[in-house]
Structure 1
């Protein structure tokens, strides 16, 4: 059965291309230095069961198989063409493939969009032919493809084991590195590999969807340099990760680089951190280092998930137990608090010097009886407070380190661990000093499908991925994004007016947008004259009493008000307002004599609290993205922010508040009250709905928002208008 049948709307067309019944090798060769030769050898050696059609106008036979002068001369029915010829020949060959009914083509050649204007033109011509003739393109500039369960090896890699890890990598060398690592590991095997190349047609989202449907793939692993359509990838990832794990190593930052800093949010968006947050939001397991790709993929493929992040550590050495504890804490995992009953059971079998708190240190109890480690694992696995079990030390090497006579007991311990792995749903992860030399007990665990690692760090990364996946599946199940809101005609008209005038929303207009959608915004007045200033002073005396006021310039030409001297704070009384008005006008005219000043915004000062920022950017790769973090003037320096793709679920919004490093400040420190996190979550969800309702909103910055124990105050608001998008609301043009 298709692993995600009924979850994705239609079957991926890539099944016919990546598991074809016939392959044309265009540019097939008898020269061992040519890719057309290596591809032929790979198909023949691996025993490809379909038809092979070498295409070479200068040869009758290639490696014992009849060759054909052109693609259109092929008599059979190939579904895939591997094109090994130079870039200039590709457009015409694609047209030939289309006329022959070939559904997909792999383009190995470079010399397309990655090389400059001429290459861009050639790639466009190739795609025009492909679209006209219904041919899907892998590449160009791809390292190739294999599908080992169908014995398709178009890279001619030797000694690559078939297995259940699907690989999509923009680096051919990274694939080679993973293949060599898998050979050394001896347990990991691969299903399908594709090098996406330039992604001129088929992109990461298409390949991931195929791996999600592929019955031979249990876990997908991707090396990504840049997404072509990040938003579509996130949509597919959400579907696939609901059914099977997806591991991504993302090199560098977002492909199109960091966006020009038109706002605080714009300055921080486009970052590697943003990409990681969005991938994790979709359930993807993101690894930070390239040597974690295969271990994490293996661990997730074998163990799938943990119920939570509480880990029980069992060690035969105090030093390594300490190292493991440090790494677990750094990874956001917890040392499980063992129950009194569990600790008593451990005391019953261990020597008095052993420590039965977590981490459990057997303290020599196992020197003569290494199988006791398996008993300890079984005891802690039965504790309801434990989500995963982590064995750390020298298991497998007791018969090497102490006495050969211990081999039998170690093997009994290994069998007990295998039995435990079948009896429990809790992941068992093992780190052993002796992993590199593969002693018999560890080989037995490998054969049974238990993951064995040669470093504590890799083991912890696997445990973290298992915990993250378990929590994601538990929290995301059945939780749809918040309901969208309809745009209000008056606000659509406001956007249309700003577009027509070639400006962004004024601050008071931005706050009106928020207020009209239920966000709590303090009273504010725009004053354009001395008379209006006097009226404002009187009104605030009646509503805010002696609360000090703030005054800010309103100008389409002055974006950063403080830099221009356009902000005055803590103003009390009419005379203070008069003086502040004069000083702001003088400062702003000196800053920019040509600036058009709309007026001055007067509002009560917000009371003391925690400054946070809420921002939105429409990222060129991922679409609308919401940001939350510590606010004020230090936001771009500290960069303590979290990102999520819009629309948000309530869990997305809650996790943003809990993700930032400064969350302890939100919970109250040094006698300060905890802020109302629920109100912040509601604010994030409302902003998400506003962004969906108004496509003309390009960027939004609420900075700072002052969070209190009983709510929040939006102190400053900026909305940047996309002048390329017209309002669709009829009343906006009335």
Structure 2
């Protein structure tokens, strides 16, 4: 169903509550913005103290209007708003923009007032933008309630929690000269509408080709992820996420909980659903522009064509850092380039023309054509002085550069391989570069920006391809015995004991080594007989001791009855010293795991994004190194593969110093299984499998911890 926001973000009539003739007031600026931009709908200034404002008849109230106003801009103080929303409802208004501050961002009284505003809006059937918002514009509809100068209609939609960030983007677009905007919304406090609502609108808006968001914080991150996942299938979504949240970390009990709620986690989850995340604020507009023009790439192999060695080297460095590959040019490509360029030209990637184009810049398009035809090339990056040959060498070359610009634009239109240009002359906007950009080929004055655009195009192409083969983790039917175990733990107000957590995993087909729980002398002797002289690990089982190693509750490499009795006594003594009143359920005995690579798999229910799965290297350093990957549950198979290959220490998984490579396929299956288990059991608040020992032929879950949710989770 189409978003109801279309009714008022593309309004046919607008009322301004608090319209003014005072140039310092927002009610004046909004009127000026509408008038100057030639808004064609009805404008209703509302101010009971005057008869006209800027030549328009003024009305004393909403109820006195000659017809309904689709959108109302409220410029009055916070305390007046609940009553005014009632008037808006009686008028038939669909949406209200509330500029006033003084709500939840201030204090408790403000939060209470915000709740009153929301209740009044719901009763009046009016949707709220804000409060504490910078406002709205829809340039294709000539709605400019911010009265911004020199912004032009285009295809980039913006949702920004910062009014100054919008202003920065508008000024950057003015300097760029090519970028225009469709709709802008400042979400403000989001007491009603939030990022997911606005993204849904931009996704449906025919005038928006790229949705761009500046985000300080999500209120319902899981809803946003669900919306973004669908929108990103057909339209690029770019997000700059400022700051980081520590929500939930203070209450976290596990390694996973301690690492969740971070900026890194948020970025991983956004990328999981196809969002392009930029890490620098000056990348927002270039990346949005590049995605608008080129949409996607079908691979990550880039050919660099350069007229200078230094910039070719810089471009190569940045590409590799961005996770892109330098394409390996075929023999046929190198042979064709040899027939175009001087003998001293470098024909491997990056291709350095070595002065060949100084007197004939048209050779650049000849080279680009050859590169595009190479099956090993997915994208082409031109770096150097194109556009400035007529400035640097001879004015007569300008005509040749113009012809070359036309030829490059034609080539771009004939191929699905993105062509991106960096020129050191772009800041002076010479005519060849202007013509190139007007023809739809992006031109940048920064190699770094050009590379970020290529990275974004590759990520978007990979996301679309993965969606075409998406295979989510298989849903599970909850096992009755596992449900009973959770109910017992909840009645006792405790978490699962380790042996219960491992039993849960075994029930659903996870490979967990055999172990025995020992509570008394008879069970102890049974374990001795069962394991014989096998080297064993011994661990305390207690609801009061979460981190067993810290309490001295773990003994390794024990063998035989005497060794086990000594280890048992030492564990009990250490745990008593660690926490005198700790209830000891018993000890757990299991054969020592064979040597392998330790990894961690964990789950935390994030207060914003819901259940999130984590993967990384395991052991005691996981919280120090923080080399982990996150994905929202449920996972797809592609998600699981991406997690395993994302961590910086992935080379360890491939085997180092003679160690065999681990089975990544086995880890992928384990990640999918854990995803399914958590999806089936809302009782799991946090889960830690640390370590899981990964082998070339499988894995072994050595330690398992499950924190039980005592109430209904997100």
Q: TM-score range by the shorter chain?
A: over 0.9
Does the alignment pair 1:196 with 2:187? yes
Does the alignment pair 1:359 with 2:350? yes
Question: Equivalents in 1 of 2:135, 2:170: separation in Å?
Answer: 14
Contact 1:324 1:456 in 2 (8 A): yes
Tell me what 1:29 maps to.
20
Question: Equivalents in 2 of 1:405, 1:73: separation in Å?
Answer: 68
Contact 2:86 2:124 in 1 (8 A): yes
Return the match for 1:411 from 379, 388, 402.
Answer: 402
Return the match for 1:304 from 295, 301, 312.
Answer: 295
Shift of 1:478: 4.2
TM-score (ref. length: structure 2): 0.99
Question: Following superposition of structure 1 onto structure 2, how do residues 38-437 of structure 1 map, counting pairs within 5 Å?
Answer: 38-254=29-245, 256=247, 258-437=249-428
- SS of the aligned residue for 2:383 comes to strand
Contact 2:240 2:277 in 1 (8 A): yes
Question: Equivalents in 2 of 1:536, 1:478: separation in Å?
Answer: 48
Tell me what 1:718 maps to.
705
Shift of 1:75: 1.4
Query: Cα deviations across residues 62-95 of structure 1 (Å, max 9, x unaligned)?
Result: 1111111011111112111100000010111111
Question: Equivalents in 2 of 1:157, 1:547: separation in Å?
Answer: 77
- SS of the aligned residue for 1:404 comes to coil
Question: Equivalents in 2 of 1:684, 1:607: separation in Å?
Answer: 21
Question: Following superposition of structure 1 onto structure 2, how do residues 578-617 of structure 1 map, counting pairs within 5 Å?
Answer: 578-617=565-604
Question: Equivalents in 2 of 1:96, 1:381: separation in Å?
Answer: 62
Contact 2:67 2:91 in 1 (8 A): no
Contact 1:257 1:271 in 2 (8 A): no
Question: Equivalents in 2 of 1:598, 1:305: separation in Å?
Answer: 57
Shift of 1:493: 1.1
- SS of the aligned residue for 2:531 comes to helix
Question: Equivalents in 2 of 1:669, 1:476: separation in Å?
Answer: 33
Does the alignment pair 1:664 with 2:655? no
Which has the larger displacement, 522-531 or 289-298? Answer: 522-531
Contact 2:248 2:607 in 1 (8 A): no
Return the match for 1:548 from 531, 535, 545.
Answer: 535
Query: Cα deviations across residues 487-520 of structure 1 (Å, max 9, x unaligned)?
Result: 1111111111111101100000000110000001
Shift of 1:167: 0.2
Tell me what 2:465 maps to.
474
Tell me what 1:692 maps to.
679
Tell me what 2:617 maps to.
630
Which has the larger displacement, 91-100 or 141-150? Answer: 91-100
Tell me what 2:629 maps to.
642
Tell me what 1:5 maps to.
none
Contact 1:254 1:621 in 2 (8 A): no
Question: Equivalents in 1 of 2:100, 2:561: separation in Å?
Answer: 74
Question: Equivalents in 1 of 2:367, 2:403: separation in Å?
Answer: 14
Query: Cα deviations across residues 8-56 of structure 1 (Å, max 9, x unaligned)?
Result: xx10000001001111100000000000000001011111111011111
Question: Equivalents in 1 of 2:38, 2:400: separation in Å?
Answer: 43
Question: Equivalents in 1 of 2:603, 2:287: separation in Å?
Answer: 32
Query: Cα deviations across residues 227-286 of structure 1 (Å, max 9, x unaligned)?
Result: 011000000001100001000000011373645331100110000000000000000000
Question: Equivalents in 2 of 1:179, 1:407: separation in Å?
Answer: 31
Question: Equivalents in 1 of 2:437, 2:474: separation in Å?
Answer: 48
Which structure 2 residue ranges, 5 or more long, are not aligned? none
- The total of aligned residue pairs comes to 713
Query: Cα deviations across residues 162-190 of structure 1 (Å, max 9, x unaligned)?
Result: 00000000000000000000000011100
TM-score (ref. length: structure 1): 0.96
- SS of the aligned residue for 1:617 comes to strand
Which has the larger displacement, 526-535 or 450-459? Answer: 526-535
Question: Equivalents in 1 of 2:81, 2:177: separation in Å?
Answer: 39
- SS of the aligned residue for 1:597 comes to coil
Tell me what 2:660 maps to.
673
- SS of the aligned residue for 2:16 comes to strand
Question: Equivalents in 1 of 2:593, 2:471: separation in Å?
Answer: 35
Shift of 1:135: 0.7
Question: Equivalents in 1 of 2:251, 2:390: separation in Å?
Answer: 62
Tell me what 1:731 maps to.
none
Contact 1:313 1:389 in 2 (8 A): yes
Shift of 1:400: 0.9
Return the match for 1:499 from 482, 485, 490.
Answer: 490
Question: Equivalents in 1 of 2:287, 2:251: separation in Å?
Answer: 35
Contact 1:139 1:198 in 2 (8 A): yes
Shift of 1:317: 0.4
- SS of the aligned residue for 1:160 comes to coil
Runs of 4 or more, structure 1, over 2 Å off, are 254-261
Question: Equivalents in 1 of 2:366, 2:664: separation in Å?
Answer: 44
Contact 1:226 1:255 in 2 (8 A): no
Shift of 1:408: 1.8
Which structure 1 residue ranges, 5 or more long, are not aligned? 1-9, 727-734
Question: Equivalents in 2 of 1:606, 1:261: separation in Å?
Answer: 28
Contact 1:259 1:269 in 2 (8 A): no
- SS of the aligned residue for 1:632 comes to coil
Contact 2:221 2:609 in 1 (8 A): yes
Contact 1:249 1:286 in 2 (8 A): yes
